[in-house]
Structure 1
Amino acid sequence: MHGNAWAIDPFTVRDIRVEGLQRVEPGTIFVTLPFQVGDTYNDDKASAAIRSLFGLGLFKDVRIDVQGNVVVVIVEERPTIADVSFTGTKEFDKEVLTKALREVGLAEGRAFDKALADRAEQELKRQYLNKSLYGAEVITTVTPIDRNRVNLNFNVIEGDVAKIKTINIVGAQAFSESTLKGLFDQDTGGWLSWYTKSDRYSRTKLNADLETLRSYYLTRGYLEFKIDSTQVAISPDKQSISITVNITEGARFAVSGVKLEGNYLGKEEEFKTFVKIVPGQAYNSEHVAETSKAFTDYFGNFGYAFAQVQARPDIDRTNNTVVINLVADPSRRAYVRKINISGNNRTRDEVIRREFRQFEASWYDGEKIKLSRDRVDRLGYFKAVEIDTSDVSGTNDQVDVNVKVDEKPTGNLTLGAGFSSSDKFSFQFKVQQENVFGSGNYLSVDLNTSKFNRVIAFTAVDPYFTKEGVSRAVDVYFRSQKPVDENSSDYRLNTRGASLRFGVPFSEKTTVFFGAGVEQTSIEVGTNLPAAYLAYANKAGLKSTLIPLTVGWSSDTRDSALAPNTGELQRLNGEWGVAGDAKYLRGNYQYQAYKPLNKKFTLAYNAELGWGKGLGGTPFPVFKNFAAGGLGSVRGFEQGTLGPRDITGSYLGGAKKLQGSVELQAPFPGAGNDRTLRVFTFLDIGTVFGEQEKYSLKDMRASTGVGLSWLSPVGPLRLAIANPIRKQAGDKIQRLQFQIGTTF
């Protein structure tokens, strides 16, 4: 009791008893008490004991009673949380909410009190506010059960999502308000808002939109532009939000000159080549930032890791002009002492270090560090790769390079079915691991059961087969192909083989591939076997073995493999059948380019040239023919139906190929700036030619149309509606085509 704990004479403790415990271990009490048997007990120690025991957060009440020279600690335990449940939650997975509550201290097995429940309610409401559900209500029900435990239930009435009703930009004069609001990712909604959720308010997204607005003005001469205030108002029913942005544009300034000040190591002329600022044009903050960064990067190439470049504007408000003074301080030259890598819990250090072109105990080189970062990023094993430098204490000429990576899952298991306008129904199973056991090696097993192309394939790639960066790839495969024809046919081409390829990096941007393989192709005779197959079989037999040597070259600078907006892709592959039942040459070159016209529109090009020829008096193998028509080729024509036709009516492709495409890509109407859902208009032209035919523009087919691309949860989907504008008699037209997983 509290009364006996105060104003007593000190005494020596003979014994300590604890009463009221149900689940807490007695040892927890004894360890927390500031005295033990044999110590002197007094009022100060009693007060300290009560404070310490309350501080554990396990007890609702703590009292100390003194009986002679025995101290009795009487506690009343808080209930323990037995179960946490949710009802009415549709917007969140329950695991997400459980994790959020655990972070504020509420979880199964922990002590419970009312203050903890209040914090939990506030945290749940905060989670819903982040989803624009401002009207969400949380009702907590505490149900006592046996052994001093409680069950907690959080009943959530989510309500409707608060949507942006109006966005007003006050103070805009140089540009229309509609133009400025078109820059925002958030908007007042459209018929596709259910997909884009662009009309859901988010403070983070609003801040990003305001930065976009600021950049828009600063890149168009408005040097003194500022955002004065931002008001976000929610309606009384918490269903609609109004956003008002107040801005001051200021005057528009043109650049009248650029001056270099400070120490440029006597290399002013070299630095001037990096200047992006153009006198006579409107002030552009991006050009200033690009110039400053290019200067510091160039200083870094000479080891000046601490270089600073400041852009100081001299403003002439009378003439609305500005002179940009670039003031440089290279500071001091530095060595790299250590390269520290963190965040790679799974990936081995060696996998990251072997991509580095900056070495320890060498001069700091900014260009090599940037190249190293890009090489690590291109591995594809990490969500993010960050590099920064830190001074080494006690020295003024050394830095450590710190590499922080954020790993992502690199395994992929695909099990599903697909449907396309050409293959109909198909089953696919694929398991791949891009970073096996953190070694950087790649393994995959692929199974596809489509109507025309059945595949079983195994691939293993070691990107650093040698320390010099030579890669090795091993392929083992079986393919069963059924050519497209007009008749119901059951013949097939069955190809089984294996190959070995090596990739040699000739430069940082160029890789050349060399390889060899062995293939055995058998013609499975069925009804309506094409005459071309019979002719080939008469020369090489129904079962033929080929031994091809391969060489290739590739360069890929696209910003994304799935939804590229800028960059180029080039591939050049050659194949030489040097031995076996047929000897031949086969080459293929592909070029893709993506040019962003502005934030929304992208112009895309694709061109492909193929060539094949039989050697030593044998015809070019028909199963090595190129195909044209359909998605990925000339849309509007059935898949693989362009080019020469066999006398049986079969479409067998050709030994030569020529095709090109141009696309104008834009956001889907109502989708804002979302790049996962795009529409495009296109022009396709191309066909294939027989081995003895010449490339001829008059035989080329062409089509135009519109299409839709969507990075759907089951893979990239492309749909096209095409109108052939150049065709020939007998061509098979297919105006609507779609496929999941196809490319350009």
Structure 2
Amino acid sequence: MKRIAALILLASLSANALAFEPFVVSDIRIDGLSRISAGTVLNYLPVNRGDRLTNDGAQRAIRALYQTKFFSDVEIDREGDIMVIKVVERPSIAKLSLRGNKDIKEEDLRKGLKEIGLAEGETFDRLSLDRVQQELVRQYYNRGKYNVSVDPHVTQLDRNRVAIDIEIREGKVAKIKEINIVGNKAFTDKEIRKGFESDTSNWMSWYSKDDQYSREKLSGDLEKLQSYYMDRGYADFGVDSTQVTIAPDKRSMYIAASVKEGDIYTISDVHLLGELILPEDSLHQLVYVHKGDTFNRKAIEASTNAIKSILASIGYAFAKVSPVPKLDKDKRTVDLTLYIEPGKRVYVRRVIFQGNTRTEDDVMRREMRQLEGSWFSQPAIDRSKIRLQRLGYFKTVNIDKALVPGTEDQVDLTVKVEEQSAGSLMFGVGYSQYSGIILSASVSQNNFLGTGDSFTVGASRSDYSTSVNASYFNPYLTDSGVGIGYNIGYTKSNYGDTNSDFVNYESSLKSFSSFLSFPISETDNIRAGLGISSNKINLTYEYLDAYGNVQTSNYSPQILVDYQNALGHKTIHTWDATLGWNHDTRNGYWAPTRGGLISLSTDIALPGSTVQYYKIMGEANHYWPIGKGFVLYVDGQVGYGKTYGQTFDYSSDDGIYQAGEKITFPFWQNFYSGGVRDVRGFQDNTLGPRVCVGTVADPVTGKQMPITPLPNGTCPGSVYSYAQPLGGAFKVLGTAELYLPLPFLKDINTARVSWFVDVGNAYQDYQSFTAKTLRVSTGLSLHWQAPIGPLIINFAVPLRTQQDDGHYEERIQFTFGSQF
């Protein structure tokens, strides 16, 4: 067929080149051009003025012009000594439209069409259109859609143009009706098909799509089948044949595979050959199969990867380790040889950054642990990638290596990133069940002018709070990574106006702090800071009596009033020092999938403060990928607070506080539990000790005493029906969370859904802790980085409660919009 096509083409070219006597070309004239310039044609023409043109030369010229694909017909003639070229231009594509494609995105289709020259503005070639049709059908076949139809329609337009309309009818995916594995005796069908992506229709197929046939899925399943046997000793296992049958309606598929199990083999010996580079004993420690072990392909692959990894860490970037098993079928043993080819030891010539249109190269380069001019190190490259991902500036980070042309011992690294917004100018409206409506305005930038510095200036107002704050952080004050930060803020709050039964009091807080951050290893840093604050606390409210006189009354629990009276101050001045340590091994910024965080911090109100106290907070969490997109997350937190070195100088009338008694932990620094980000299923900050507002006369002494809540949480004789949460000086919280892979949430950096179990509570002090009072809840949670700001929706069910919790339980919780 190829020979016939060649003869036809040769005959066609001969006909288009009219026979003439050779002559010297004095000029060249081109007839038939309308869209293409004469200069473009002359650039492709292998004939110039002054050349001697023969019949063979004319045929070569015609071939050259045909190969440009600009023309559907080319003829060469002669007028005297003038070479005359007559052409018929191919039409240009004025419009290209696609209809009916759902399974393949239009942008992916157009990209593929453009690669073969079928795009708006290109020259139209009917053969290209035919190839496109065949390729689209093939792609849909690979997706299991065997009744697809692809119909291209070409419409002629004026000025030698065409409009192409490709109509696609995808049809339905062929469903797998039957899968038969023939020849398996050692394991059941259920065992060997456990990891298959292909399956017959079942109650979960609507979600997993496992009953939709795909050639790629079947190939992967057969590879898993082979791995299943070879990981269990069947070294000579093989798939003899595979047959896929499609029903006449092209909607049903039947799969059959015949296998030969063979025998179980054991390892008779393991050898290391080739250029070992490292001591043989050291390399043998990286081999996970030994003499006498059952043959295991997975362990062999892990061994080869471990050896390649150790070689890559010392510069052998292209090392190869080839396992060569020698089977003795009589003894059913395998003599295993790992042949090592380290190749040349290479060093990194240059590190090139691509895609960082906003972020400066220096900001990225300072996160690189693979340096230019040093030996190639895969662990250093892997660590560099993680550090870049954790900056939060990039959606994706990829690092590629390539040999420098003409060398064998130099590579260039290309760091390709896709930037994402690292800042915002926001005027927003948010809502939470705890804070009510939140109005906010802010300017924030985590990568200010591409320098890596971060700052935030913001203001917000909610039902109970008004705040203004500003912060700045330079993570690289020095080249060694010492960072410096500043925070200044003002917050005025009336906790009695919250949408939960929070303990009532007003606070007006002004604060300023500065801190330094010191890296002490790749994963550890220490933060130390100093701050000053002034907090005015008001526990009373004013009202007009029946005679129009201004009266004051306590609207806070009596225990808070007595504490403030015994303290003798309404404005609390604090000098505080903070010290913290972080150990961070997470692999991402927004949505980690592996690694964890361990943090320990203390906040100390220094001598000279109105109240001297310290708070210690600790947290440890970790992420584990457990396969098929599932990620397990476990977190534990503890908080502890205590005062030191001070006593009260005032005796309260009811005798709760006495002069000379040690000052207890300040209520405005208490830990709280419960809420959207805590023990879900309970209102924000409502777990822990609760107190009633108002007093009642002691029946014996007649003194006014605080009202004790009833077991159901109500307050008899109080101005408020229910007891108010006060928080405490000790808190514990534990969370186990399973992040779920959902087909409609492909980008985990945008949204994640999880099933959680929360355990926690707040206590008056450490001595009050008892595991019996820990609250437990479970449910589902959605975290979404929405355009309006972070959105959290929880559906939670309390599993363990106390009698007085009923008023504070909350099944559905949500919050959206940024808060400051």
Query: Normalised by the size of structure 1, how large is the TM-score?
Result: 0.81
Partner of 1:697 in structure 2?
770
Among all aligned residue pairs of Structure 1 and Structure 2, give the percentage whose two residues are the same amino acid: 33
Match for 2:480 among 465, 468, 478? 468
Cα pair distance change 1:31/1:475, threshold 3 Å: same
Partner of 2:679 in structure 1?
634
Partner of 2:600 in structure 1?
572
Residue 688 of structure 1 pairs with residue 769 of structure 2: no
Partner of 1:550 in structure 2?
578
Match for 2:131 among 110, 119, 122? 119
Partner of 1:507 in structure 2?
521
SS of the aligned residue for 1:729 comes to: helix
Residue 651 of structure 1 pairs with residue 725 of structure 2: yes
Partner of 1:727 in structure 2?
802
Mapped partners of 2:196, 2:814: distance in 1: 32
Mapped partners of 1:71, 1:329: distance in 2: 62
> How many residues of Structure 1 are paired with residues of Structure 2 in the alignment?
734
Q: CA deviation at 1:557?
A: 3.2
Mapped partners of 1:449, 1:201: distance in 2: 55
Q: CA deviation at 1:507?
A: 1.8
Q: CA deviation at 1:496?
A: 5.6
Partner of 2:410 in structure 1?
400
Match for 1:708 among 780, 789, 796? 780
Asked if structure 2 preserves the Cα contact closer than 8 Å seen for 1:630 and 1:737, the reply is no
Match for 2:420 among 399, 404, 410? 410
Query: Normalised by the size of structure 2, how large is the TM-score?
Result: 0.75
Cα pair distance change 1:344/1:264, threshold 3 Å: same
SS of the aligned residue for 2:613 comes to: strand
Q: CA deviation at 1:572?
A: 1.3
Match for 1:611 among 624, 640, 663? 640
Partner of 1:338 in structure 2?
349
Mapped partners of 1:324, 1:92: distance in 2: 45
Q: CA deviation at 1:687?
A: 1.5
Match for 1:142 among 154, 163, 174? 154
Q: CA deviation at 1:407?
A: 0.9
Q: CA deviation at 1:308?
A: 5.7
Q: CA deviation at 1:644?
A: 1.5
Cα pair distance change 1:662/1:353, threshold 3 Å: closer
Q: CA deviation at 1:377?
A: 5.2
Q: CA deviation at 1:196?
A: 4.4
Mapped partners of 2:811, 2:16: distance in 1: 91
SS of the aligned residue for 1:411 comes to: coil
Q: CA deviation at 1:356?
A: 4.1
SS of the aligned residue for 1:147 comes to: coil
Q: CA deviation at 1:411?
A: 1.4
Q: CA deviation at 1:453?
A: 7.6
Partner of 1:625 in structure 2?
670
SS of the aligned residue for 1:294 comes to: helix
Q: CA deviation at 1:77?
A: 2.3
Mapped partners of 1:448, 1:202: distance in 2: 53
Partner of 2:191 in structure 1?
179
Counterparts of residues 251-650 of structure 1 (less than 5 Å): 251-255=263-267, 267=279, 270-271=282-283, 273-277=285-289, 282-299=294-311, 311-313=323-325, 315=327, 320=332, 322=334, 324=336, 334=345, 336=347, 338-341=349-352, 343=354, 345-346=356-357, 348-360=360-372, 362=374, 368=380, 371-372=383-384, 374-376=386-388, 378-379=390-391, 381=394, 383-386=396-399, 388=401, 390=403, 399-411=409-421, 435=447, 438-442=450-454, 460-475=472-487, 483=495, 493=507, 495=509, 497-521=511-535, 528-531=555-558, 534=561, 539=567, 544=572, 546-558=574-586, 567-578=595-606, 581-594=610-623, 604-615=633-644, 617=646, 620-648=665-693, 649-650=723-724
Cα pair distance change 1:115/1:463, threshold 3 Å: same
Asked if structure 2 preserves the Cα contact closer than 8 Å seen for 1:255 and 1:282, the reply is yes
Provide Cα deviations, 1:265-312, integer angstroms capped at 9, x if missing partner.
Answer: 785555555443466654433333333433444456666667665555
Match for 1:21 among 25, 33, 50? 33
Asked if structure 2 preserves the Cα contact closer than 8 Å seen for 1:4 and 1:66, the reply is no
Q: CA deviation at 1:668?
A: 8.2
Q: CA deviation at 1:588?
A: 0.6
Partner of 2:656 in structure 1?
none
Mapped partners of 2:742, 2:61: distance in 1: 69
Cα pair distance change 1:654/1:222, threshold 3 Å: farther
Cα pair distance change 1:170/1:556, threshold 3 Å: farther
Mapped partners of 2:624, 2:43: distance in 1: 70
Cα pair distance change 1:565/1:11, threshold 3 Å: closer
Which residue identity lines up with residue 509 of structure 1 in the other structure? T
Q: CA deviation at 1:141?
A: 2.7
Which residue identity lines up with residue 38 of structure 2 in the other structure? P
SS of the aligned residue for 1:115 comes to: helix
Provide Cα deviations, 1:454-488, integer angstroms capped at 9, x if missing partner.
Answer: 87766554433321122344445566666567659
Asked if structure 1 preserves the Cα contact closer than 8 Å seen for 2:735 and 2:756, the reply is no
Residue 248 of structure 1 pairs with residue 257 of structure 2: no
Q: CA deviation at 1:222?
A: 3.1
Cα pair distance change 1:155/1:213, threshold 3 Å: same
Q: CA deviation at 1:657?
A: 0.8
SS of the aligned residue for 2:303 comes to: helix
Q: Flag the structure with larger Rg.
A: 2
Which residue identity lines up with residue 222 of structure 1 in the other structure? Y
Provide Cα deviations, 1:296-351, integer angstroms capped at 9, x if missing partner.
Answer: 4445666666766555546565665556555667788x463624435455455434
Higher mean Cα deviation, 102-111 or 43-52? 43-52
Cα pair distance change 1:253/1:402, threshold 3 Å: farther
Mapped partners of 1:429, 1:197: distance in 2: 45
Q: CA RMSD in A?
A: 4.6
Q: CA deviation at 1:137?
A: 2.2
Provide Cα deviations, 1:627-676, integer angstroms capped at 9, x if missing partner.
Answer: 1124544344333211122332322322211233456x4868999x9999
Which residue identity lines up with residue 734 of structure 1 in the other structure? E
Asked if structure 2 preserves the Cα contact closer than 8 Å seen for 1:340 and 1:400, the reply is no
Asked if structure 2 preserves the Cα contact closer than 8 Å seen for 1:340 and 1:401, the reply is no
Q: CA deviation at 1:589?
A: 0.5
SS of the aligned residue for 1:408 comes to: strand
Q: Which runs of 5+ in 2 are unaligned?
A: 1-12, 542-554, 647-662, 694-722
SS of the aligned residue for 2:641 comes to: strand
Asked if structure 1 preserves the Cα contact closer than 8 Å seen for 2:433 and 2:815, the reply is no
Which residue identity lines up with residue 31 of structure 2 in the other structure? E
Higher mean Cα deviation, 176-185 or 611-620? 611-620
Q: Which runs of 5+ in 1 are unaligned?
A: none
Cα pair distance change 1:451/1:558, threshold 3 Å: farther
